[in-house]
Amino acid sequence: MERERRAGVLLHPSCLPSRFGIGDLGPTAAAYVEWLAGAGAGWWQVLPLHPPGPGHSPYSAISTFAGNELLVSPDLLVEDGILGEAEVADAPDFPRAWVEFDAVVPYKTALLRRAFDRFTERRPAGLAQQLEAFRQRHRGWLADYALFRALRDSRGRQAWYEWPPELAARRPEALEAWRESHRDDVAFAEFCQFLFFRQWGALRDWARELGVRVFGDVPIFVSRDSAEVWARPDLFLLDAEGRPTVVAGVPPDYFSATGQLWGNPLYDWERMAGDGYAWWVSRLRQTLETVDMVRIDHFRGFASYWEVPADATTAVHGTWRQGPGRGFFDAVAAALGDLPLVAEDLGEITPDVIELRKGLGLPGMAILHFAFSPRPRSSFIPYNLERDLVVYTGTHDNNTSVGWYHDDAGEPERDLLRRYAACSGREVHWDLIRLALASVCDLAVVPHQDLAGLGGDCRMNTPAVGDGNWRFRITPAMLGEGIQARLFDLIETYGRLPEGRRPPPGPDPP
């Protein structure tokens, strides 16, 4: 992997401004990429781009191949001629600062259905040819996903394992009969995927043109209620009825005294090794066609993972099991070539995890919110950092830096930070941003909430809390020239500026 000194910003597309209730891949996303380029950022980090399941978490998606159709831009559908200006002019008065999913989902679904009906009636030649090419290119996953999605939506988003047995068990005659009687619904699901990947591809091309690369995210596990578990139960540790025998989680840690019981089915790693991890090869190939670099969430699970009995109510009483290790990455690299991966190696990290990451030559992660425990000193304190790390002020799972300083950190941590950074804490978010950008790490990433100096009520996710997450959105005021100029100045000062970038217009940074 190429090593260069760069900076990035973390913000999921759903967080962008939009009059349609949720950020999308249209004009405001293109403008955000321009803003990042003007700020000197070389990377835009996003969360998984898949369609979320219950709780709206992108880490609990109903497919690990499909894209989130809620991110499709109505404005771009107007440009395509499959929606009219009047049809998008009367959008409801959605909240500007958060996503109201209960209102957004039916509104955007209805818009997409209207676009599909218009497309079906008119069959514009260019789009029709592109759709057919898309179907052919993605036939390895698209047919299963579209059938799964149509079935799931027709049953009020009911989980597949609650469907009638003949559908849950994928009996061929039952599936074919259902597909035949619901052709439009299946075609609609394919159409939504076509729109997502068409718009995302155009946005990524624009980012590349401006010198901004996209840093994506692959969760190690997939949701039980997903097209992949439904279509390929042989890859998971399930019983004859499709129920997990054991599930994923992590033991008690910084985030939760009882651990985190994720509930994802665990892989049958032995079965996967038998075909050279073909499913994973397909998954990573698809991802790397979508983004330029990938964070492997819960990397430690490839060394060893926490196995919890399926009937457990917490993750306390689990067992460490051996993961697939180096053999997995060698098999994937043999199929795909050099892998631009970053290992999310947070939590309880044992020597085998460090050995695996170092042996593969993968960057790890460091979080400054965890850096200022006075005794013992943290490995994340800036003087302990190394080049082969991606340093963050905080991630989507952390509080904002202002929230952390005022609500989470103890006085000993605050005191050490103030002494270390020679600061008062009045602008703690910029103090931590400066420390991250000044560090020796090749890549420093800052959540946009920290650039805007937002409090804990604006965090993206609170681990182990089921409700109220993934709703944050930025407003135009958080994209001000002053913030952009200040970030550019720090990026340039600490040697992270891509060649050819020029300062943004506007006021000088303070």
Tell me if 321 sits within 8 A of 342, measured CB to CB. Answer: no
Task: Render pLDDT for 2-16 as a digit per residue (tens, 0 to 9).
Answer: 679 999 999 999 999
> Half-sphere exposure of residue 75, counting CA atoms within 13 Å on the CB side?
13
Q: Is residue 388 part of a domain?
A: yes
Domain coverage including residue 387: 364-456
Q: Is residue 285 part of a domain?
A: no
What pTM did the predictor assign? 0.96
CA distance 138 to 280: 15
Q: What is the pLDDT of residue 506?
A: 65
Task: Render pLDDT for 39-90 as a digit per residue (tens, 0 to 9).
Answer: 999 999 999 999 999 899 999 999 999 999 999 999 999 999 999 999 999 8
Residues 6 or more apart whose CB falls under 8 angstroms from that of 199 comprise 24, 25, 26, 71, 72, 73, 76
Q: What is the pLDDT of residue 509?
A: 53
Position 416: which residue type? L
Q: Is residue 19 part of a domain?
A: no
Q: Whats the size of the chain, residue-wise?
A: 510
Q: Is residue 397 part of a domain?
A: yes
Comparing C-alpha atoms, which of 344, 353, 351, 350 is closest to residue 397? 344
Q: How many domains does the chain have?
A: 1
Residues belonging to the active site: 297, 344, 397
CA distance 482 to 272: 51
**What's the distance, Cα to Cα, between the start and end of the chain in Å?**
36
Q: Long-range contacts of range 254-261, CB-CB < 8 Å, 24 or more positions apart?
A: 254/347, 254/370, 255/397, 255/463, 255/464, 256/463, 256/464, 258/314, 258/315, 258/316, 258/464, 259/306, 259/314, 259/315, 259/316, 259/318, 260/315, 260/463, 260/464, 261/308, 261/312, 261/313, 261/314, 261/315
Q: What is the pLDDT of residue 1?
A: 52
Number of C-beta neighbours around residue 270 at 10 A: 8
Q: Is residue 240 part of a domain?
A: no
Which residues, given as ranges, of the chain have pLDDT below 70? 1-2, 255, 506-510
Residue given tokens 């994506």 in the structure block: 216
Phi/psi for 149 (5° steps) reads: -65, -40
Q: What is the pLDDT of residue 332?
A: 98
Q: What is the pLDDT of residue 166?
A: 97
Comparing C-alpha atoms, which of 67, 282, 79, 281 is closest to residue 189? 67
Q: Is residue 329 part of a domain?
A: no
Q: Is residue 411 part of a domain?
A: yes
Q: What is the pLDDT of residue 507?
A: 57
Q: Is residue 198 part of a domain?
A: no
